[in-house]
Amino acid sequence: MLSRTADNLYWIARYMERADTVARLLEVGSRISLIPSVHGYRSEWDSLLQATGMADSFAKKYGDPVQRNIESFLFFDRDNPSSVASCFTAARENGRIVRTALTTQVWDALNTAFQELKALERTPRSELELSRLTEWVMRHAAMVRGAIDATLLRNDGYNFLNIGYYLERGDNTARLMDVKYYVLLPRVDFVGSGLDNYQWTTLLRAMGAQRAFHWAYGGEVTAAKIADFLILNPQSPRSLATCSAGLVNHMGRVAKAYGRETAAQDKARVLQAEIEGATVEAIFEEGLHEYLTRFIAEVAVLAQAINEAYLSGEMR
């Protein structure tokens, strides 16, 4: 497979997963904004921008973090490369370029999402509820993922799609968890309170993980349980452990298909070993925010290694 084809497939997955996460972040923001503010230092909507790393680009264009502007910035703004509109458009364009590497079902799922997006953009904002928009994004992201899993041949193209999915999902799970750091930063005495537990529950619900969490742990929602579930538990579909294991698996399959390993496989195994060797106690001793920040940086290094090994030249 040519590297440019692998690059297009890899980015289809990353863009679709990123759009799904942006929708979930908007849902978190809308739910948390419904409860009374506990401090005047930083708004809950601003915390979402901080966690996604888009606060500066938002401030340059819109100024103060007003809810309606944040919704526009994260959903419709084409100047924001991580907005839902930008991600869906880029995923569809990547799919169009490698149309022959996709099944009809995968292409139809990508193209349908893009056509419906254009219809949404023509609809007056006053007629679009945020909940309708976020549900729409999550439904189409699931349709594309389902079409990939159900219809694609398990070849190197399928592996590059999954590498993109796992890399983006691991990064986004860490960023979603880090929202809690920014929300609670000014008042650490809220840790362990009812408000603290409500915000953790809101995050679980936005990730679609609330039921799975209660099946796995039951009882009270605590920061330690959620850290274990979303970082260390290999049964959790969004956990960092699951994402790192998925990366090692699909990168191993790529190495086998091409007859040699690269530095990217080594970095993926190191990332997985670090997570498997961690404990909740050690993570909290380091600091949850510091641990997640370090993980996000390591994922960026791994992404660069994948790009240099497989996406920047003709693959052999």
CB 247 within 8 A of CB 273: no
Half-sphere exposure of 236 (CA within 13 A, CB side): 28
The one-digit pLDDT tens for each residue of the chain (316 residues) are: 778 899 999 999 999 999 999 998 888 788 777 666 555 444 567 777 776 778 888 999 998 878 889 999 999 999 999 999 999 999 999 999 999 999 999 999 999 999 999 999 999 888 889 999 999 999 999 999 999 999 999 999 999 999 999 999 999 999 888 877 665 554 555 556 666 777 788 788 878 888 999 999 988 888 889 999 999 999 999 999 999 999 999 999 999 999 999 999 999 999 999 999 999 999 989 988 899 999 999 999 999 999 999 998 655 5
